[in-house]
Amino acid sequence: MARIFITGSADGLGQLAAQLLLQAGHRVVLHARNGVRAQAAQAAAPGAESVVVGDLSGLEGMRQVADEANRLGRFDAVIHNAGVSYREPRRGNTADGWPVVLAVNSLGPYVLTCLMHRPARLVYLSSGLHLNGDASLHDLTWAERPWNGAQAYADSKLHDVLLAFAVARHWPTVPANAVSPGWVATKMGGAGATDSLEAAPKTQVWLATSPEPAALATGQYLYHQHPRPCLPAAHDPALQDRLLAECARLTGIAFPVGA
């Protein structure tokens, strides 16, 4: 039996992953951005141990989630599932001056990875749209570029792959992998999505709990439990470390390299 923390598990793929894990007898801690959504999360996954509350669109909320999760103890796996859509029509500055897409999709996973007790496994939700991400890592906050929600989302999903690969390299004893769940009909994916919603949460559940050697490999980008080619630049250690440095500059939180 494993103990897993899932960010963004009030609905969508996070909720589906929580339900699968609970059905398999695992222990699950949920996450929601506010109290109302926490109640919805607990109602949808009534066997969960608890719900961590905190808004990942701001640094204060990220710290709050990390602190509350740490008070609950160390986890066997953390699934970084929380995300906001590519359909964001505006830049949507947070209190910290970041676009919401960057804050929730990129900086949130980074800060939690840095501040939470190191788990045995890490899973980062990416997307096939990361292939359209800007590997220059120029102007992450969109202070100079004209806002483009679709590009900002693609960039953030590339950041998730880079983060997973950087963690895999710097923490070789912690399997860290990125997952594309496919284009599925969640609230974020929309009704026109064509991939299997039933299959979408299974890879992250498998990575979080399976004893199979393939699930314990690290530094992979996977779709439906199989490695899939990612943007070639994502394999560049220098680019991975540049992302870590940019995230550290924006948040003031350095990545803890080494044991």
| Cα–Cα dist 207/79, whole Å | 9
153 is catalytic: yes
| Cα–Cα dist 180/203, whole Å | 9
Among the options 110, 124, 153, 221, which is catalytic? 153
Among the options 110, 157, 221, 223, which is catalytic? 157
Q: Which two tokens stand for residue 34?
A: 């506010």
Residue 104 Cα distances to 23, 47, 68, 107, angstroms: 28, 26, 18, 6
| Identity of the amino acid at 48 | A
DSSP per-residue letters across 45-76:
STT-SEEEE--TTSHHHHHHHHHHHHHT---S
| 243 CB-near residues (< 8 Å, 6+ apart) | 137, 159, 162, 163, 166
| Cα–Cα dist 104/162, whole Å | 16
86 is catalytic: no
For residue 232, give the nearest of 130, 91, 125, 81 by alpha carbon.
130
Indicate which residues carry an active-site annotation: 153, 157
